[in-house]
Amino acid sequence: MEKGIVNISNHYAFRDLSFVYLVWNIYNEGKLIQTGKIEDLNNLPGEDIQLQIPVSSPKNRAGENILLISIQLKDSASWAPAGHEIAFEEFILSGNPIRNKNNSVSVLPKLTDHKDVYSIEGNDFHIEFSKKEGAINSWNYKGKSIIEKSGKLNIWRAPTDNDEGGGEKSFAKRWINAGYNNYKHEINSTESLTEKMR
């Protein structure tokens, strides 16, 4: 990818790609540093072509450099407006994300052990993990609630005619005998580990 050559495949059986265009963006550690647009994608049905993306060498930029490719509609369609993305891809050009190599517990989010919940708090988020339910029941990110309540495991669905056929040997009967229709979630114990990162 250092040369900026990408392969574009047309998976349509009867249509070329003249109805879409390509947008490319390069990010250095999440910051947009280059962008461009290629209008003429005329792959015939089933055809692959190679395109040269005019990217500058990322070798001199520290951190992770990513190329994002987006294929978008030129004109509005009955099912989507102009500019709607119908395909995308991501390529790592160079480097790795800059990470904090200090694994000390002191730099981790704060964990508080309450009677009924574990509370995990970072710079811009707050999570509560229910000891009773064994699941996250509250998640707040940048002042906004992400979930309203914890998710529930559900292993039962209404049987179909095929499930019920066969009497005692039917799938439905075996499910009921196994207690799938009366499943109860139970937490035996919880434990928090704060000594080290793994």
Vertex 132 angle, CA 178 and 158, to 5°? 30
Dihedrals φ, ψ of 129, to 5°? Answer: -110, 115
Residues 22-35: tens digit of each pLDDT: 999 999 888 999 99
User: 3-state DSSP call for residue 130?
Assistant: strand
User: What's the pLDDT at 23?
Assistant: 96
Instruction: Go through the domains of the chain in sequence order and give each one's CATH number.
Output: 5-94 (2.60.40.10), 101-152 (no CATH), 154-190 (no CATH)
User: What's the pLDDT at 3?
Assistant: 73
Rounded Cα–Cα distance for residues 170 and 156 (Å): 15
Q: Rounded mean pLDDT of the chain?
A: 85
Residue 57: which of 10, 100, 2 has the closest Cα?
2
Contact 135, 149 (CB under 8 A): no
Residues 74-113: tens digit of each pLDDT: 999 999 999 999 999 998 887 765 555 555 555 678 889 8
pTM as predicted: 0.49
Which carries the bigger pLDDT value, residue 100 or residue 157?
Answer: 157
Percentage, residues of the chain above pLDDT 90: 38
Residues 38-86: tens digit of each pLDDT: 998 889 999 999 988 887 765 667 788 899 999 999 999 999 999 999 9
User: What's the pLDDT at 197?
Assistant: 45
User: What's the pLDDT at 48?
Assistant: 93
